Amino acid sequence: MKTFRYRGTPVVGFAAFSGSGKTTLMRKLIPCLAARGKRTAIVKHAHHPFDIDHPGKDSYELRRAGADQVLVGSGERWAMIVETPSAKEPLLTDFLQHLVTAETDLILVEGFRHMMFPKIEVHRRSLNHPFFYPEDHFIIALVTDDVDAHKDALHTIDLNRVEALADFLLEYCTAAMNP
């Protein structure tokens, strides 16, 4: 079984071409896991520059003034904005090291599909994209709208059965924690 744990917490990715529905699927999956008492952390890779603060906000203006790190916090949440001037593409572990894993049961990753760690492939037949799973040996399951065509190749879950995906993830993580 292909497993990856970071500080004892199982890490499973979601791999797909853009527009395949990874984020939508994860937005449905997270409440299913929470209802089962599981606390999740998410690492999402962005292929483009992004901002979480906006012009006119104090955090934005302080960062633009030259601060390399800005931490914004309240009683409800906090966020850290760190400037990384390197043009080098980061590794997954570069981001994992910033997570607070003490109260996390599962780390879900969106992106980093070329890295070697367990991933669930999301595939929509109508988009006509090639599959990753025949070549990527770290694909542990396929979530698709074409279950019958692939069920003999690897564990396959219907795209509309999020509860079944939650079941699979919890079983997989339990097995990963008890090899």
Neighbouring C-beta atoms of residue 52, cutoff 10 Å: 11
The helix or strand, by DSSP H or E, that contains position 20, with its residue range, turns out to be none
d(CA 13, CA 15): 6
Dump pLDDT digits (tens) for 108-138: 999 898 899 999 999 999 999 999 998 999 9
Question: Measured between alpha carbons, how far is residue 162 from residues 64, 114, 153, 168 in Å?
Answer: 42, 25, 20, 10
Dump pLDDT digits (tens) for 52-108: 778 888 888 888 888 888 888 889 888 888 888 776 888 899 889 988 888 899 999
The residue whose two tokens read 């499973």 is: 12
As a whole number, the mean pLDDT across the chain is 89
pLDDT of residue 152: 83
Domain residue spans of the chain: 5-49+87-177
- Three-point CA angle 113, 40, 118, nearest 5°: 30
Residues 6+ apart with CB under 8 A from 41: 9, 99, 100, 101, 104, 106, 107, 108
pLDDT of residue 48: 64
Q: Answer yes or no: are the C-beta atoms of 86 and 94 closer than 8 Å.
A: no
Q: What pTM, to 2 d.p., does this model score?
A: 0.87
CATH assignment, 5-49+87-177: 3.40.50.300
Dump pLDDT digits (tens) for 24-53: 999 999 999 999 999 999 998 876 666 777
